[in-house]
Amino acid sequence: MAVNQSQLGQMFEQVLRLSKVDASQSVAILKSHYSDARTVQAATDAALRLGAKVYSVELPSFNHPTAMGNDMTAYCGDTALTGNIAAQKALEAADLIVDTMMLLHSPEQEQILKTGTRILLAVEPPEVLARMLPTEEDKARVMAAAAVLEKARMMTVKSSAGSDFRAPLGQYPTVTEYGYVDEPGRWDHWPSGFLFTWPNEEQAEGVLVLDVGDILLPFKTYARERITLEIEKGFVTRIHGGFEAEYLRDYMAYFNDPEVYGISHIGWGLQPRAQWTAMGLHDKNDGMCMDARAFYGNFLFSTGPNTEVGGTRKTPCHMDIALRRCDIRVDDLQVVAEGEVVAPAASRVR
């Protein structure tokens, strides 16, 4: 059923409060014609109730001719803000931006964040926002895991399906997503609840075997057969299996860019209210399926861009792939055992 507008407004008020919005703050609502009107209204009302100075920045929508499908992650890099310096300046002037349009993976977003402006992405349907309303407990659990990942020099992933993957770490920072933006220059996404980093350039290697039921985004499909990815020197070098491997291979080749095969962010899910099953109950155009990215105990692996952390790979193809039932280790600490979060203790749901 649908969340009513009053509930949605109250939820935005909670998230903006957690994001330290008060009467001293200016809040920009970034939107386009496809933004959810309920979300735009609720964000505006909540920011006003908190006493903030509120304004909207509406941009014409942008679709790259190469993009396939409507998923917001199906084409990365260029957005409606690309080259629009006046709009960028208007956004940089805000203390906080509620992004109902999707700037993620764009260099412009990084420039805005560098000015100290905070960005909260909110593009999932209101009912998904409601189920995964962020809490301070979510942040505490993600930060407990981040304290371990930040110091780590190696992540290894194994599974009974045959995954055996190693990623030396240290070159790139750890990124946390807990659903609100309480620090200057912070980006976050409501809903979320996971963490990740990037392998050192050209060092990740091994094999990842996607098992039946693992999730491929932006396809929004559950794998029905195993897909094997071979990884050498930081790049996927072979994709094999049956039809689904062929589909993935052909999709990535379509972009005609060797950088699409680079390993992007890797990490694990810590959000118990995100559900592996949720994607099956939504249409493909309902949102970007953060459930798949955040469900508790997943291994979230991805390919393509690394501009979020200052890397040079600005490539349009970004696959997020959520694997279940993996064993994940960071250095000597096993953090996930067969898809169950086991450490650190403060990252587990009590």
Judged by the rule CB under 5 A, the positions of this chain that interact with Fe ion are 302, 320
- Rounded Cα gap, residues 84 and 258, in angstroms: 28
Least CB distance from residue 125 to Fe ion, whole Å? 19
CB nearer to Fe ion: give 12 or 301. Answer: 301
- Rounded Cα gap, residues 337 and 227, in angstroms: 21
CB nearer to Fe ion: give 174 or 302. Answer: 302
Could you identify the residue written with the tokens 């899910």?
269
Residues near 317 by Cβ (< 8 Å), separated by ≥ 6? 76, 251, 252, 254, 255, 257, 260, 303, 304
Token digits of residue 20 = 């330290």
Least CB distance from residue 136 to Fe ion, whole Å? 25
Least CB distance from residue 30 to Fe ion, whole Å? 20
CB nearer to Fe ion: give 158 or 293. Answer: 293
Least CB distance from residue 265 to Fe ion, whole Å? 6
- Rounded Cα gap, residues 219 and 201, in angstroms: 26
- For residue 345, the tally of other CB atoms under 10 A from its CB is 9
Using an 8 Å Cβ cutoff, are 290 and 189 in contact?
yes
Phi (first) and psi of residue 86, to 5 degrees = -65, -45
CB nearer to Fe ion: give 13 or 308. Answer: 308
Least CB distance from residue 20 to Fe ion, whole Å? 26
Q: Dihedral (C-alpha) 72, 206, 152, 318: value to the nearest 10 degrees?
A: -10
Residues near 5 by Cβ (< 8 Å), separated by ≥ 6? 38, 41, 42
Q: Shortest Cβ contact with Fe ion: which residue?
A: 320
CB nearer to Fe ion: give 88 or 302. Answer: 302
CB nearer to Fe ion: give 29 or 317. Answer: 317
Least CB distance from residue 128 to Fe ion, whole Å? 17
Least CB distance from residue 74 to Fe ion, whole Å? 12
Least CB distance from residue 300 to Fe ion, whole Å? 7
- Rounded Cα gap, residues 199 and 169, in angstroms: 5
CB nearer to Fe ion: give 71 or 244. Answer: 71
Using an 8 Å Cβ cutoff, are 95 and 119 in contact?
no
Q: Whose CA is closest to 286, among 98, 110, 72?
A: 72
CB nearer to Fe ion: give 109 or 302. Answer: 302
CB nearer to Fe ion: give 43 or 217. Answer: 217
Least CB distance from residue 92 to Fe ion, whole Å? 24
For 3-24, give one letter per residue: b (16+ CB within 10 A) or e. beeeebbbbbbebbebbbbeee
